[in-house]
Amino acid sequence: MLHTLSPSMSLFEATLLMTLIPRASMATAGNILGGKPSTDPNGNDERSDTCMFTDAQPTPYWQVDLQGYYDVHNITLETFWGAWGWKTQSVKIQTYFSNPDQCPSGVGFLYGTTPADTGESQTHVFHATSTHPVRYIRLVATTQPDLALKEALAMGVRTTRGTVSKFSANKGKKLQTTMASITTYSANGCGIQCHMTQSCLAFSFNPSLTTDNCFLSDCPSTNDETGWITRILDPGSY
């Protein structure tokens, strides 16, 4: 259930959470990377249905924005031929709720790691170890100065928020960035607004304010600020 501040959630509010947004997803999984925007550490943009390589740099990575939240069933990586094949060795596959470049405290998950002896013209398939919906997929090179990949596929289904959202409380904290500033009558009302906003992953509420007392954000990073309480979404309850 939605964790709340006093006063307790009314029956109307609880019913609203249970009925407004039923969980839904596509019945058939498909490749969710095709045509989605992707970036490397230098900010170079490309479409993710092409081969990928980065320049030499301290921490090379390649990241795809799925532009929505997905249950990712499996991820397949195909390496290049020849000398480029080794550039996919010991690559971490990480998935995130929020863009880690913009949200340092964003929730991330390690999906898998390619073998240290990965070579040319190989295919590696990784299967989901959790069912948390995610928006970003990032490949990070850990043992070489650059990263190269012939092709990446991710199979999954688009998902919407479930019927119940759970949030953990952080007193004396306020969100660093907001995507909406609104006025609500209680923390319950602020939480409901976050629940109904698909991209909202955290909210801040200040009971001493009568206007602009509710902030919604897709990034759970916070600053210390008296009078505010921030509640951060439990990934398993999205």
Q: Where are the domains of the chain?
A: 11-23+162-237, 30-158
What CATH topology corresponds to 30-158?
A: Jelly Rolls (2.60.120)
Q: What is the pLDDT along the chain (238 residues), one digit of tens a residue?
A: 333 333 333 322 322 332 333 333 344 567 898 888 888 776 555 555 567 888 888 889 999 999 999 999 999 999 998 888 888 999 999 999 899 888 887 778 899 999 999 999 999 999 987 667 899 999 999 998 988 888 889 999 998 887 888 899 999 999 999 999 999 999 999 999 999 998 899 999 999 999 999 999 999 999 999 999 999 998 878 8
Longest dimension (CA), the chain: 65
Euclidean distance between the first and final Cα of the chain, in Å? Answer: 12
pTM given for the model = 0.78
d(CA 187, CA 33): 37
**Domain 11-23+162-237 - what CATH class?**
alpha beta
Which amino acid belongs to residue 74?
Answer: N
